[in-house]
Structure 1
Amino acid sequence: MKTRLHDLINGLRRGANTESEVLAEIKARPESAEQKDTSDSLLYPLHMACHHNLPTPIILALIGACPPVAKVQDRQGCYPLHWAVNAVGSAGVIRSLVRAYPDAARHRDNYGKLPMHYVNECSNLSAEAFQELRKAYPAAVQDRDAHGNVPLNASVIDGGYSHAPAEVLEALEEANPEAKSEKRSVSNLPGRFQTLGRRVSLSQVMFDEARSDVLEGSDDGISPEDYIRELESRQSTDSFKNL
């Protein structure tokens, strides 16, 4: 059932309500923290607060009002701990969530990720928060997600997609030094993404050939069928296998 607390949290996100209003509602009606809004995929106020990176006092108040919600997955398979690692990064929040439900660190969401796999998403994550998460499930630094990647890999070390602070990346590397030599894998992607990769490769072959014709001011007579044969021949090369 959607409650006033859900509305206040959404209002705080939009700037229509204040932190003090949300905290006052939690104090006045703590039972609201265990009510879920079935119209929202996040379901519970705690999931909402972690996902939207609300102020730490609000998240801690929600945990205190109803600790069992830390044991509940939302419709995306995420525990509050997944969202806290993804967006919040506060050591106090992560410590409190781990205490409320340590096993959340061992559970995957619907995307095949443990909370540890989200450390690269959060620019606010502190080294202390990382260590709190690591203590809950030390083996997570070597665990592979649905794509076959450990939390740290070469593309992250080389400044790829990671948003994590340098101190967190250093801690990850120290925890799993072998990961630095790994390439980021896409070989275990679901079939539809592998198909997309082949289509992108075909487009790249055609683009490269067309660009060459334009730059050289001539048509080399290569047809689309020739492009396809060229693509098929590339499938046996290492460069294509590593797409």
Structure 2
Amino acid sequence: MPKLNEAIRLAEASNWQGLLTLVTASPLCARDCDDYGMLPIHWAATENTAPLTLLECLVEAYPEGVQMPNKAQLLPLHIAIRAGAGVPTLQLLLTAYPDSIWVETPSGTPPTLLGVQSNLSSDCLDLLRATERLVPFDVQWTNQKAVKSPSSVTSPTHQNSNRPHSWHTISRQASTPAIMTPPPHTAPLELSYERSDGNSSEDNNSPAQATSLPPAWMLIEECFICRVPFNMFKHRHHCRNCGMSICSAHSSETKMTMPGFTNPQRACLSCAAVLRRPPPPPHTTLPDNQQRRRTSKLFTSMVSPKTRDKQGGRDLRLRVAELTKQVDQLAQTNMGMQQQLLEQEELKAETMLLITQVMTRVSVLELQNEKYRQSDDFDM
């Protein structure tokens, strides 16, 4: 009988052949979990040296492992993309868990965009994009539900473990069933891809072929509205309407229905205001006589000096109202930036206080160490 967490020890040491032999002999070892919520398949995804046969063996021994996030809320697919995995590894993980193509990282980055940021090869990016077209985006992914972490899955060999059970949450997506049971007479998902030329019309997000594709995401390092750089505390989001990178403060509270998507999507505040506008009233066809009278009155009003003056005054008032609205928006943006600046100053002050406390503690330990050393010298 293998030792407890023997699979984790082999995985941490990158002993892939030993791990393959162990899991082949005892498939329950694929459920071993360390203190960071890492299963053997998480560890195998961290390095490109892990053989594909090992990943296949781990998936076969524990199919739910590809659905389990670690304590950093990263799936094996996220880890493999960050490690620069090849096409066979990504295809294996996507085939085992197709819906993972829509699971975002805690920073709100989907796997395809994560692949772009990780400088994956064009073949890997084509595979991720092809999977997006094959797997429809479900509205359930917009909800926030809990996903059971690997540490809460026990097996007969781990019932004596004292590790507490925990639950972790994946933001902006819903959990999938623990066991993916395909319906009867349903063929498995076949992931095939071609090099994309940008003219494909098989996007499942578009309701019809005549609908234009959504704009490409603009990957910038700061919020498009407030111009504050993204960091660990200021996460990046994307407006699906204009494609710009935005922060959570300038993202609409509710997702919006927009052309090109069958489900509500994230939008920036500007696009959300435009999308909330009511549609124009339907144009009604007037009878010929009534239409001629309206045209005659319109012509008379256009050549009338009084009407011309009234029209100019109305345009001026509209322009003033428009400029006033823009000034109000700029004032609100300025207030938001000042608030963010205050928050950053508070964070900086807390960080400096923590550094001071750590340095004080180090000084105290050094003094105690010096006293012990002098005491030992005196005894000698």
TM-score under structure 1 length normalisation: 0.54
Q: Is the partner of 1:184 in helix, strand or coil?
A: coil
For structure 1, the residue ranges without an aligned partner over 5 or more in a row are 141-145, 147-169, 195-234, 237-243
1:187 equivalent to 2:223? Answer: yes
CA gap of 1:11–1:190, structure 2 versus 1, over 3 A, is closer
Identity of aligned residues (%): 20
1:101–1:174 Cα change, 3 Å = same
1:77 pairs with 2:73: yes
Give yes or no for contact 1:2–1:36 (8 Å, CA) kept in 2: no
Pairwise CA distance, 1:128: 3.1
Equivalent of 2:59 in 58, 63, 67: 63
Report the CA distance shift for 1:184/1:64 in structure 2 as closer, same or farther (over 3 A).
same
Is the 1:127–1:171 Cα contact (8 Å) retained in structure 2? no
- Are 1:4 and 2:6 an aligned pair? yes
Task: Report the Cα distance in structure 1 between the residues aligned to 2:23 and 2:36, rounded to whole angstroms.
Answer: 19
Residue number in structure 1 paired with 2:25: 28
* Residue identity in the other structure for 1:33: A
Name the counterpart of 2:91: 95
Go from structure 1 to structure 2 and tell me whether the alpha carbon gap of 1:118 and 1:3 turns closer, same or farther (over 3 Å shift): same
Higher alpha-carbon Rg: 2
C-alpha contact 1:5 1:22 (8 A) present in aligned 2: yes
Q: CA deviation at 1:52?
A: 3.4
Partner of residue 129 from structure 2, selected from 110, 126, 134 = 134
Question: CA shift at 1:83, angstroms?
Answer: 1.1
Residue of structure 2 in register with 1:201 after alignment: none
Q: Partner amino acid for 2:128?
A: L
* Structural mapping, 1:27-176, within 5 Å: 27-37=24-34, 39-41=35-37, 43-57=38-52, 58-122=54-118, 125-138=120-133
- TM superposition score normalised by structure 2: 0.36
1:120 positional shift:
3.1
Name the CA distance, whole Å, in 2 between partners of 1:191 and 1:22.
Answer: 35
Q: By how many angstroms is 1:25 displaced?
A: 1.2
Distance 2:60 2:18 in 1: 17
Q: What whole-Å deviation, never above 9, does each CA across 1:32-78 have from its counterpart, x for those lacking one?
A: 112222x124x211111112334232223222221211111111111
Does the 8 A contact of 2:81 with 2:118 survive in 1? yes
User: Equivalent residue of 1:25, what SS?
Assistant: helix
What is the aligned length?
159
| Whole-angstrom distance in 2 between the partners of 1:28 and 1:110 | 36
Q: Secondary structure at the match of 1:64?
A: helix
Distance in 2 separating the partners of 1:133 and 1:8 = 30
Q: Are the counterparts in 2 of residues 60 and 93 from structure 1 also a CA contact under 8 Å?
A: no
User: Contact 1:89 / 1:122 at 8 angstroms: preserved in 2?
Assistant: no
Give the CA RMSD over aligned residues: 3.6
Say if 2:42 and 2:79, in contact at 8 Å, map to a contact too: yes
Q: CA deviation at 1:24?
A: 0.8
The answer as to whether partners of 1:98 and 1:104 remain within 8 angstroms in 2 is: yes
Q: Which amino acid aligns with 2:129?
A: R
1:6: Cα distance to partner?
Answer: 0.7
Over 3 Å counting, the alpha-carbon distance change for 1:56 and 1:133 in structure 2 is: farther
Higher helix residue share: 1
Relative distance call for 1:5 and 1:178 in structure 2 (3 A) is same
SS of the equivalent of 1:137 reads helix
Q: Structure 1 40/193 Cα, relative in aligned 2: closer, same or farther at 3 Å?
A: closer
Q: Within 2, Cα distance between the matches of 1:190 and 1:128?
A: 30
Indicate conservation of the 8 Å contact 1:26/1:62, yes or no.
yes
